[in-house]
Amino acid sequence: MLNYAVCKNWKFDDVPYSYTERDSMLYALGIGIGASPLDAGQLRFVYEKNLQAVPTMASIMGSPGPWARSPETGIDYLKLVHGENDVRILKPLPPAASLIARNRVHSITDKGTGKGAIVVVLRELFDAASKEKYAEIRHITFLRADGGFSAANGISDPSPEALPAIEDRPADVEVSFPVLEQAALIYRLSGDYNPLHADPEVATQAGFPRPILHGLATFGMACHAALKGVVDYDASRIRRVAARFTSPVYPGETLRFEMWRSGPNLVRLRAHADARSVVVLNNGVIELA
């Protein structure tokens, strides 16, 4: 049974995170930027001339590691899934920097016995020297087997604010990207070495016909869609990217991103794998400067 007090007060050490221009380019390649190497916009992320960092790269910086695996948390780690990701960029990421990440458990919500629980971990990224804050990341995890923990003491936090539903009208912008067959093998070099994304035997054991793409790679592709379809590859205009993960993605597929303009600085987003007729990202929010 999930131990609310232990989890809510979990002590995370500060995580130093330094990255280079090479790391920024590798991340961009891992989410498919550079697949059109003559596109001047894409080259701004994969070539050192006028290099920009992709805003969603903040998602991979300063992770606290698999803390929920610790037996004292009471969490059934095998039933844990990454449900949503929400990145707010307060200052555009430089192509290379030394940062400090600070993580804390923001909330734990009991949905009820048989309905699971929700844990929100908040991460803040600071410049190691100036202490200026670059980004805030909300990592929202669904604990499918841990509902009912509040029965003992009645303690449960309010649910995180739900991402708004997509508008019921045709999209204003559509962008499609192929997922390279080797996409997961490239993306994992940015730090997520889970064998589920590389080893066919591990994928089969997990119930998938082949290794799947990292969810945060799909999330990064959503940012690429906004960069291409909305802001002409100007990374400084992206201030928030948020979305719910609704289905795994397989390398070799093509993803279609629908975007709706909901105001001068707000775009809604949804992503489809049309060959399987599934939505892979939903309730997406893109906020612009």
The model's pLDDT over 256-282, given as tens digits with 9 standing for 90+, comes to 999 999 999 999 999 999 999 999 999
**How far is C-alpha 146 from the geometric centre of its chain's CA atoms?**
23
* Statement to judge: residues 87 and 196 lie in one domain: no
- 13 within domain boundaries: yes
Which domain does 248 fall in, by range? Answer: 173-288
For helices 21-30 and 215-229, give the axis angle rounded to 10 degrees: 90
Statement: residue 63 has pLDDT above 90: yes
Catalytic residues, which ones?
192, 197
Q: Look at strands 278-288 and 15-19 and give their pairing.
A: unpaired
CA 25, CA 45: separation in Å to the nearest integer?
6
Dig out the tokens for 164 from the structure.
Answer: 């708004």
Q: Is 239 within 8 Å of 245 (Cβ atoms)? A: no
* Statement to judge: residues 24 and 94 lie in one domain: yes
- 159 within domain boundaries: no
- 158 within domain boundaries: no
User: 151, 185, 203: which is the final residue of a domain?
Assistant: 151
User: 151, 181, 208: which is the final residue of a domain?
Assistant: 151
* Statement to judge: residues 246 and 135 lie in one domain: no
For residues 131-136, average pLDDT: 98
What is the number of domains present in the chain? 2
- 156 within domain boundaries: no
Q: Is 246 within 8 Å of 269 (Cβ atoms)? A: no
Total Cβ atoms within 10 A of residue 4? 21
* Statement to judge: residues 10 and 131 lie in one domain: yes
* Statement to judge: residues 11 and 129 lie in one domain: yes
Residue 80 belongs to domain with CATH number: 3.10.129.10
Statement: residue 33 has pLDDT above 90: yes
CA 67, CA 172: separation in Å to the nearest integer?
41
* 3-state percent helix, strand, coil for the chain, nearest multiple of 5: 25, 35, 40
* Statement to judge: residues 262 and 186 lie in one domain: yes
* Statement to judge: residues 73 and 208 lie in one domain: no
* Statement to judge: residues 188 and 242 lie in one domain: yes
The pLDDT-based confidence of 152 (bands split at 50, 70, 90) is: confident
- 167 within domain boundaries: no
What is the structure's pLDDT at 150? 97
Straight-line distance from the first to the last Cα atom of the chain, in angstroms, rounded to the nearest whole number? 43
For residues 105-117, average pLDDT: 97
Statement: the pTM of the whole predicted model exceeds 0.75: yes
- 165 within domain boundaries: no
* Statement to judge: residues 145 and 222 lie in one domain: no
User: 151, 184, 210: which is the final residue of a domain?
Assistant: 151
* Statement to judge: residues 223 and 264 lie in one domain: yes
Residue 112 Rama label (left phi>0; alpha psi -120 to 50; beta): left
* Statement to judge: residues 119 and 13 lie in one domain: yes
Give long-range contacts, CB 8 A cutoff, 24+ apart: 186-189: 186/26, 186/29, 186/30, 187/27, 187/30, 187/31, 187/213, 187/214, 187/217, 188/30, 188/214, 189/26, 189/30
- 195 within domain boundaries: yes
* Statement to judge: residues 87 and 210 lie in one domain: no
Alpha helices in the chain (DSSP H): 4-8, 21-30, 40-46, 183-187, 200-205, 215-229
Mean of the per-residue pLDDT values of the chain: 97
- 108 within domain boundaries: yes
